[in-house]
Structure 1
Amino acid sequence: MHPEATSTSVRQPLSPLREPVRVVRQAALVDGGWRSAASFRVRPDEPVLAGHFPGFPIFPGVCVIEAVLQAATRTAPPEFGPLHLDTVESARFRDAVYPGDTLAIEVEWDRVDQGTGCAARVSTERGLAALVRLRLRRGDR
């Protein structure tokens, strides 16, 4: 164990994103299910763009998933409590995301066993960019 660490210290998650996602709408009941929304602007100076297709930068898919994860954990229904990533169940990328794009992230929630599942639809100004399904676990890690 690192000399400064204790058994009660909590490791903060690392993110490849320079800026956090912005909450657009906290989870609300819509048509009998929980829905929430967030957005993220891909800044042209995002460090992850530097080596991802030099000369023709594309925002990496793993960063799209990270934006969905941040959107999910920041907009979840309060009754779910703290959430942490358990599994990326699926990710289907439909269109590239470029510097300057704004991701609109719509999240739909469902409960699965002892965890929580969410499905996200990620769009840019050009239309659908990705469909992502996550399974999150509840608790303080």
Structure 2
Amino acid sequence: MDIKEILDHLPHRYPFLLVDRVISFEPGKAIHAYKNITINEPYFVGHFPHFPVMPGVLIMEALAQAAGILSFKTMGIKPDDNSVFYFVGIDNARFKKPVTAGDQLHLHVEILRQMRGIWKYKAEARVDGEIVAEAELMCAKRDVA
């Protein structure tokens, strides 16, 4: 998926869109996407000026956005103004290495289960093949209108 299709399957926009491309996707199973980390990222101004590091919460958000694409594509629907996917849980989060400008953050997300509108995923973020962060994520679709 290129950026145009990603924008069709996520409600997020700049500066909060954290998926640049989807490399592979298997409905109901898994997705592999990536985010290019550049020195122009707005969070680097304050985190940290002397050693720019991507905040761990944004790595988790990038994984959640990849999970969102996986879920929407699996269900065969697109986001709309009437509902949203919320983060409802993060279990076993681990941060193993800092992510810095110039890195390409690969997002690997696998569906563990889906029940009563709650989705659970196994998620790993990698740079150069090494795991930099991992967690089990939970998201739920909720009507907002």
Query: Is the TM value for this pair above 0.5?
Result: yes
The structure-2 alpha-carbon separation of the partners of 1:66 and 1:21, relative to structure 1 and needing over 3 Å to count, comes to farther
Name the counterpart of 2:37.
Answer: 42
Q: What do the CA deviations read for 1:1-31 (whole angstroms, capped 9, x no partner)?
A: xxxxxxxxxxx667754654422222346xx
User: How much has 1:39 moved relative to structure 2?
Assistant: 0.4
Q: Which residue of 1 aligns with 2:90?
A: 88
Q: Is the 8 A contact 1:39 1:105 kept in 2?
A: yes
Task: Check if 1:25 corresponds to 2:5.
Answer: no
Give me the CA root mean square deviation. Answer: 2.5
Q: Retained in 1: the 8 A contact 2:93–2:136?
A: yes
Return closer, same or farther for 1:129/1:43 CA change in 2, 3 Å cut-off.
same
Q: Which moved more, 1:107-116 or 1:14-23?
A: 14-23
Relative to structure 1, the CA distance from residue 61 to residue 19 in structure 2 (aligned partners, 3 Å threshold; closer, same or farther) is closer
Change over 3 Å in CA distance of 1:24–1:140 after alignment to 2: farther
Percent identical across equivalent pairs? 28
Distance change >3 Å, CA 74–CA 18, structure 1 → 2 = closer
Q: Report the secondary structure of 1:96's partner residue.
A: coil
- The code of the aligned residue for 2:59 comes to V
- 1:104 corresponds to which residue? 106
Q: Which moved more, 1:130-139 or 1:90-99?
A: 130-139
Give the 3 Å change call, closer, same or farther, for CA 64–26 of structure 1 in structure 2.
same
Larger helix fraction of residues? 2
| Counterpart AA for 1:91 | A
Amino acid paired to 1:104: H
Structure-2 separation of matches of 1:92 and 1:107: 15
The correspondence for 2:53, drawn from 33, 58, 83, is: 58
- The structure with the largest alpha-carbon Rg is 1
For structure 1, the 5+ residue unaligned runs are 1-11
Deviations 1:31-66 (A, max 9, x none): xxx111110011111010111122111111011011
Provide the residue aligned with 1:8 in structure 2.
none
Q: TM-score, normalised by structure 2?
A: 0.73
Structure 2 gap ranges (5+) = 1-10, 80-84
Partner Cα distance (1:15, 1:69) in 2: 16
One-letter code of the match for 1:27? E
Match of 1:116, SS state, is strand
